[in-house]
Amino acid sequence: MNTLAILCVDDEAIQLLALKRELVRAFARRFVVETASDAERALRLLASLEAEGASTFLLITDWLMPGMKGDELIRQARSRYPGLRAIMITGQADEEAKRRCLETEGVLGIFDKPWDRAALLAMVESSADP
């Protein structure tokens, strides 16, 4: 059976840890939850997960990160993994950036920090359905 994975990306370690804890607590029996502190590491980790036989179905990423913003990460990740779904969590994106992410990048949803735990978990749950 194929292992399903969620990849979380945020340059703020405390945010990344909190997000991973919530996801593991809610979905440990169903999904592997991996983390990366920047976009370049995230792209390498996606390739590594695929090489190990895991399917990363969901990318949860911050928007403002050093090196590459979340929308560019989503664009690059989707060019390699077209079925990848994405959720953005941000404390920095303005309304125009959010609109672009939803319309152009096909982001499932955008959550402002601090995120609404129940709403985020519900979106993760619904994104796992084919």
Ramachandran quadrant class, 92 (left: phi over 0; alpha: psi -120 to 50; beta: rest): alpha
The position carrying tokens 């939803």 is 102
Contact indicator for 22, 74 with CB cutoff of 8 Å:
no
> For residues 56 and 5, is the Cβ–Cβ distance under 8 A?
yes
Contact in structure between 87 and 37 (CB atoms under 8 Å): no
The three-state secondary structure class of 12 is coil
pLDDT at 130: 61
Q: In angstroms, rounded to a whole number, what is the distance separating the alpha carbons of residues 62 and 9?
A: 6
CA distance 53 to 87: 23
Fold observed for domain 1-63: Rossmann fold (3.40.50)
pLDDT of 1 higher than 60: no
* DSSP alpha helix (H) spans, 28-94: 39-51, 70-80
> What is the rounded average pLDDT of the residues 58-62?
97
Sign (positive/negative) of CA torsion 20, 55, 99, 40? positive
Query: Residue 104's pLDDT is what?
Result: 84
Q: What is the mean pLDDT of residues 81-99?
A: 90
For 7, other C-beta atoms within 10 Å of its C-beta total 26
Give the residue-averaged pLDDT of 75-80.
94
pTM: 0.95
Mean pLDDT of the region 86-107: 88
